[in-house]
Structure 1
Amino acid sequence: MKKRFIAGATCPKCKAIDTMALTKENSVETVTCVNCGHQMAQPEEHVAQDVRPKEQVIGIFKPD
């Protein structure tokens, strides 16, 4: 999987600078700190529309 580093980004957990890497898998963007392992995920807009307001979902599988 290809990682793109985010220049100047600061990890909200360990406060390290330039350690945040962005990956995308199954229409879900994930940002991971390579220093402490902290992760944040954000699904694309069409995936986010299927999520109920009080749920935390990383991805939605829809077999065709």
Structure 2
Amino acid sequence: MKKRFIAGAVCPACQKQDTLRWWKENDIEIVECVECQHTDRRVPQSVEQSEHLAKDKKQQVIGIFKPE
């Protein structure tokens, strides 16, 4: 998997610029700061709109199964 730096981006935790790298793992976008190791994960919109993630039934998504 190829990790790419996000030019000009500022880490929300340590406020340092040009320290964030981005990559996709099992269709989940991951952004990580190489300075303070702050991590942010984003699932695809199709998963965010899923009935399993409705506000009254909030569940944690660990990964997305894709049969091959």
User: Structure 1, residues 5-52: CA drift from partner, whole Å, max 9, x if none?
Assistant: 111100011111000000101111010001110000111111222241
Asked whether the equivalents of residues 30 and 40 of structure 2 are also in contact (C-alpha less than 8 Å), the reply is yes
TM-score norm. by structure 1 comes to 0.80
Identity rate of aligned residues, in percent?
53
- Give the aligned length: 64
Q: Which has the higher helix share?
A: 2
Q: Where in structure 1 are there 5+ consecutive unaligned residues?
A: none
User: CA–CA distance in 2 between the matches of 1:41 and 1:7?
Assistant: 19
Structure 1 residue 60, shift from structure 2 partner: 3.1
| SS, match of residue 16 in structure 2 | coil
TM-score norm. by structure 2 comes to 0.76
